[in-house]
Amino acid sequence: MQQHTSRRQVIAAAAGAAAAIGVPATAAAAPSTTTAPTAASAATAADRRSARARAVRTVRRMSLREKVGQLFVVELYGQAADTEHARNRELYGVGTPAEVIAKYRPGGVIYFDARRGPDNVREPRQIARLSNGLQHAALRTGARIPLLVSIDQEGGSVVYRMQEPATLLPGNMALAASRSPRDAHRSADILGTELAAVGVNQNYAPVADVNINPENPVIGVRSFGSDPQLCADLVSAAVRGYHRGGVASAAKHFPGHGDTDVDSHSGLPEITHTRGELDRIDLPPFRAAIRRGVDTIMTAHIVVPALDPSRVPATMSHAIVTGLLRGELGFDGLIVTDALDMGGATEDYPPDVAPVRAFQAGCDQLVLAPEMDTAFDAVLSAVRSGAIAESRLNASVVRVLEHKLRRGLFPHPYVSERRAMRTVGRRRHRRDARALTERTVTLVRNEDGALPLSGAARGVLVTGWGPEPVGTLADAIAGRPGQSATRLETGAVPSEAKRAEAAAAARSHDVTVVLTNAAAAGSEGGAAQAKLVEELRAAGTPVVAVAVRNPYDIRRFPDVPAYLATYSYGAPSLAAVDRALYGDLNPSGKLPVAIPALDDPSAELFPYGHGLGYGGRG
């Protein structure tokens, strides 16, 4: 009876406080569908409502500018909170990351490595110190609200930010090749544990898109594959894994980015699925994530006419964000935009329009809005003018604050630098990552027993795409007794001269291993890499092709004697290739996608689930 009474009191308190600031009482009293990690995952409904009530009370004492600030997730340049960087001044008018926090009081930040420019993530102690410095800056200004510190650390070799000594994991499609929810859970657990140790509390993962289009230029191996049920199972397992590791999870890119041949970073893709197809193909992984308690869902910059005939991008669509995701699917966690500086958002929406439209559609947080001063002022003006009701603003800020409360950020915003150094890349993580990776290697073709190679002395030419992958594999082979290896990298679009050089080199070796990555060839589509493979075959030396990203490359050279798919060009995947080539590892992966014929997409070269092994297994 006492428990029942306390729950009623919490609900009443939440509803009363919500009414005072204009948040609908039903939203304030409703239990969240998200689940926080570790001990918090067992929180009672009363605990969740208590967090909502405290969030509502906090919003009551915030200024309008402070509330608008909580909607934004910004990038910051530099490796320390108090270090000047010219790019911060160019973008925000202030020099240090701490000054950016003080100026805008954003709800969150997002880390990038030097490839994009911010250069936030070098090594564990530095990242932890940056996180602590940013939290200190947030907690000494305004309403003193801790930050969501976010990152895109999906695993694999396509979308990642933290590099070694962080543990390198094989990525989603690779994990799907093992068909193991346990492996997907463990991978996310390792990623989450290492992120949490350095003060990152929100990972924008897992990808929930179902990749049914071999020409997809932006998702591909970031997806768990082409089967909706497999994707749903592994997305669910990954959400649990991130929670166990101690970070919030984010399913993306809603309502599904898997069937497109346009990259939303540079253009605006259109998904032509019917509503029935969306329900069968695209939505199951998101439904599974919601059932599992995913904290956040990220929208996609895609047009989906079956869901919104007005043809606005999903990020800007009230019908998709509020009608489908909030209403029909019942998601009550955070909804965040994909980066608003991507072409899919900027193509038709200038910097003063995109953030307002996305917020009006129902998004809670606006990620990487270009021209931050313009974006901030546009949202602020929209609230002041009534174009955005203050009750609508309050509802999103309550969700942001409740999320932070349930993540434990208010009492525990800081991390231990010493613990970060002990945790990131720890031996157990690396050992488990190796085992996970070895279960993903897929032997797609092996004519006349071309593989495994015997231990007889031989010279091996390692050629094809990528200086680092070619070098890594060549070094591994050369480290074997009796094996010598020559490296000859030919580029993403090998020229006629490079192809001739590689063919000549093949004639003086006993076997050739060629790495392919047609996705790296851009609009050329890997045609020159395919010519390289065929010219190497014509040289008369046995050829083994290894697709180190998308498994579809064999469509362009279907007669290659032996073909392995790794779904990743990271060092652990290449180590697994070395072991598979020589039979130390019996490939056990199964294709998570079907591989169609190049000239007839309706015909399958290799079906979903195909995978060979040695010794009659597979």
Q: Using one digit for the tens of pLDDT, what is the confidence trace for 195-239?
A: 999 999 999 999 999 999 998 888 999 999 999 999 999 999 999
Q: How many domains is the chain built from?
A: 2
Residue 343's pLDDT is 81
Q: Using one digit for the tens of pLDDT, what is the confidence trace for 361-377?
A: 999 999 999 999 999 99
Q: Using one digit for the tens of pLDDT, what is the confidence trace for 439-465?
A: 999 999 999 999 999 999 999 999 999
Domain of residue 143, CATH code: 3.20.20.300
Q: How far apart are CA 284 and CA 228, in angstroms?
A: 6
> Within 78-180, where are the H helices?
86-92, 97-104, 124-139, 172-178
Residue 167 included in any domain: yes
Q: Are residues 276 and 376 in the same domain?
A: yes
State the average pLDDT over residues 594-610.
94
Residue 348's pLDDT is 84
Q: Are residues 392 and 502 in the same domain?
A: no
Q: Are residues 130 and 227 in the same domain?
A: yes
pLDDT higher than 60, residue 19? no
pLDDT higher than 80, residue 354? yes
Residue 15 included in any domain: no
| Domain, as residue range, for 56 | 42-431
Which of 403, 431, 459 represents a domain boundary (last residue)? 431
Contact 199, 133 (CB under 8 A): no
Residue 216's pLDDT is 86
Q: How far apart are CA 329 and CA 56, in angstroms?
A: 24
Residue 68's pLDDT is 98
Q: Using one digit for the tens of pLDDT, what is the confidence trace for 478-501?
A: 999 999 999 999 999 999 999 999
Q: How far apart are CA 536 and CA 310, in angstroms?
A: 51
Q: How far apart are CA 552 and CA 441, in angstroms?
A: 14
pLDDT higher than 90, residue 34? no
In DSSP notation, 393-408 reads: HHHHHHHHHHHHHHTT
Residue 587 included in any domain: yes
Residue 425 included in any domain: yes
Residue 365's pLDDT is 98
Active site residues: 265, 338
Q: Are residues 120 and 267 in the same domain?
A: yes
Q: Are residues 580 and 514 in the same domain?
A: yes
Q: Are residues 409 and 556 in the same domain?
A: no
Residue 262's pLDDT is 66
Q: Are residues 541 and 424 in the same domain?
A: no
Residue 266's pLDDT is 62
The helix (run of H) or strand (run of E) holding residue 235 is helix 228-245
pLDDT higher than 90, residue 7? no
Share of the chain above pLDDT 70, in %: 92
Residue 178 included in any domain: yes
| Separation of first and last alpha carbons in the chain | 59
Q: Using one digit for the tens of pLDDT, what is the confidence trace for 172-185?
A: 999 999 999 999 99
How far, in Å, are 28, 201, 240, 569 from residue 291 at the CA level?
20, 21, 11, 33
Q: Using one digit for the tens of pLDDT, what is the confidence trace for 202-212?
A: 999 999 999 99
Residue 214 included in any domain: yes
Average pLDDT, the chain: 91
Domain of residue 529, CATH code: 3.40.50.1700
Residue 19 included in any domain: no
Residue 471 included in any domain: yes
Which of 431, 460, 483 represents a domain boundary (last residue)? 431
Q: Are residues 426 and 483 in the same domain?
A: no
Q: Are residues 404 and 516 in the same domain?
A: no
Q: How far apart are CA 55 and CA 73, in angstroms?
A: 19
Residue 260's pLDDT is 86
pLDDT band at 11 (very low <50, low <70, confident <90, very high): very low
Which of 412, 431, 450 represents a domain boundary (last residue)? 431
Q: Using one digit for the tens of pLDDT, what is the confidence trace for 369-416?
A: 999 999 999 999 999 999 999 999 999 999 999 999 999 999 999 999
Contact 125, 417 (CB under 8 A): yes
Q: Are residues 386 and 484 in the same domain?
A: no
Q: Closest Cα partner for 272 from 239, 238, 240, 306?
A: 306
Q: Using one digit for the tens of pLDDT, what is the confidence trace for 104-125?
A: 999 999 999 999 999 999 999 9
Q: Using one digit for the tens of pLDDT, what is the confidence trace for 514-533?
A: 999 999 998 899 999 999 99
Q: How far apart are CA 393 and CA 59, in angstroms?
A: 10
Q: Using one digit for the tens of pLDDT, what is the confidence trace for 530-562?
A: 999 999 999 999 999 999 999 999 999 999 999
Q: Are residues 411 and 457 in the same domain?
A: no
Q: Are residues 448 and 540 in the same domain?
A: yes
